[in-house]
Amino acid sequence: MRTVKMSMNEAVIERARAVQQGSVPASEEKTAPALLPDQIEMVQESFRHVEPIAEAAAGLFYGRLFEIAPNLREMFPESLDEQGRKLMAVLGLVVKGLSKPETILPAVSELGRRHVGYGVTADQYTPVGEALLWTLGEGLGDAFTPEVEEAWASAYGLLSSVMIESANQAAA
């Protein structure tokens, strides 16, 4: 199953590139969901339960991130309050836009390019994804079913792939 999802994500990334370059007719842009519809629904529905606890979720996320990748701590300001608000705001926008990836992928690409300037490397996306999934599990409890976890993992895999590819292009 993982192999199928990887090839689906690769196809979505290729499609997103084509949309960004204008080589996909506008009539076709809206037919290329980044994830399966049920995965999009699971991610969006579960995030609705995270939004009311956004501040706590951001604290959990950064605590876990620095626990599993302490070397990343130096990349962030001492106080993480503002960073946590930014994280949750961006996450909220991306989650809401999953059903129309053509509306968010250009911003996700730009975010990847900006992260080059912060010194972020491709291998650092792995602990970020791990911390995100752990945080969601903590925040959602029993509602973080294996299916919801897989949906979030797929969404993060797609988005981080787009960011990494954009970062690589910016660094080249």
Give the pLDDT of the chain (172 residues) as one tens digit per residue: 333 333 333 444 444 444 444 454 443 333 334 589 999 999 999 999 999 999 999 999 999 999 999 999 999 999 999 999 999 999 999 999 999 988 999 999 999 999 998 999 999 999 999 999 999 999 999 999 999 999 999 999 999 999 999 999 988 7
Residue 70: which domain range? Answer: 2-171
Q: Would you say 33 and 154 are in contact if contact means Cβ atoms under 8 Å apart?
A: no
What is the domain count for the chain?
1
CATH of the domain at 164: 1.10.490.10
Q: Which residue has the tokens 């606890």?
A: 53
Q: What is the pLDDT of residue 172?
A: 78
Task: Please write down the long-range contacts of 20-29, taking CB distance under 8 Å and 24 or more positions apart.
Answer: 20/105, 20/106, 20/109, 29/102
